[in-house]
Amino acid sequence: MADSQTSRIPRHVAIIMDGNGRWAKKRLLPRSAGHNAGMNRMIGLSERAKQLGIHYLTVYALSTENLARPKDELDGLYSLIKKYFLKNVDKLIKGGAALRVIGDLSLLPEDVRTVIEDGVARSPEEAEFTFVIALAYGSRREIVGACGAAAAKGLAITEETLSANLYTGGIPDPDLIIRTGGELRLSNFLLWQAAYAELYFSDVLFPDFSDECLDDAVAEFSRRTRRFGKV
């Protein structure tokens, strides 16, 4: 990207990674092949985001609604997590990144949950770049849970206490939310946190969402004027 396009880099980018299944279908491959390609692209994008100077990258990997998908597809996803999660975590940490996983992990099988928890335990608590993976995540569930957590602590429900008790507590709200795959909706992703995020929609299916596609999204962000409701 030209210097004029990189003058304003978003601190936090979130991506709805849509299109893995359609990518596989176009190639007459099983959906599992699309998820495998998507996982590889997810790790590649995290490396590019770090290079661009983005401090937080959050990816929507598995929603609570996705858990209703056919068992064979979910089993394939879980196998990918168990096979590649720890290896990719180690790669991220060696590159100077931190990892955080958000969502209701109690909804996942115990062996998958154990792998994820082990990976998070290896991660430093703070780093220049934090990679956030949303697994078994649903924003409505998150908001309800945050209200309950604040109330259990005897706190009044305010914007501040609710934000602090979300899965993303301590992480700045996203500046830019990208959705790949051509759909034009947030699909229960970071609804509270997205209040003033810039939205960017791409027709590119996620496995084909290249580093250059991310560059283009960041360049578009840099050209926008963010007023946060002000003049």
pLDDT digits (tens, 9 = 90+) for 12-50: 999 999 999 999 999 999 999 999 999 999 999 999 999
Can you tell me the distance from the alpha carbon of 52 to that of 213, in angstroms, rounded to the nearest whole number? 13
Q: Residue 227's pLDDT is what?
A: 79
Q: Measured between alpha carbons, how far is 27 from 25 in angstroms, rounded to an integer? A: 5
Alpha helices in the chain (DSSP H): 20-26, 31-52, 71-94, 110-122, 139-152, 159-164, 211-223
Q: Is 216 a catalytic residue?
A: no
Is the pLDDT confidence value at 1 over 60? no
State mean pLDDT over 159-182: 97
111-156: pLDDT as tens digits:
999 999 999 999 998 899 999 999 999 999 999 999 999 999 999 9
What does the radius of gyration of the chain's CA atoms come to, in whole angstroms? 17
Tell me the domains of the chain and their CATH numbers.
3-143+174-223 (3.40.1180.10)
As a whole number of angstroms, the distance between CA 12 and CA 65 comes to 25
Look at the pTM and tell me if it is higher than 0.85: yes
72 as an active site residue: the answer is: no
Distances from the Cα of 135 to the Cα of 66, 82, 115, 142, 223, angstroms: 10, 13, 13, 12, 32
Q: Which of 66, 104, 208, 216 is catalytic?
A: 66
Percent of the chain with pLDDT over 90: 87
Selection from 105, 101, 98, 94 nearest residue 127 by Cα:
98
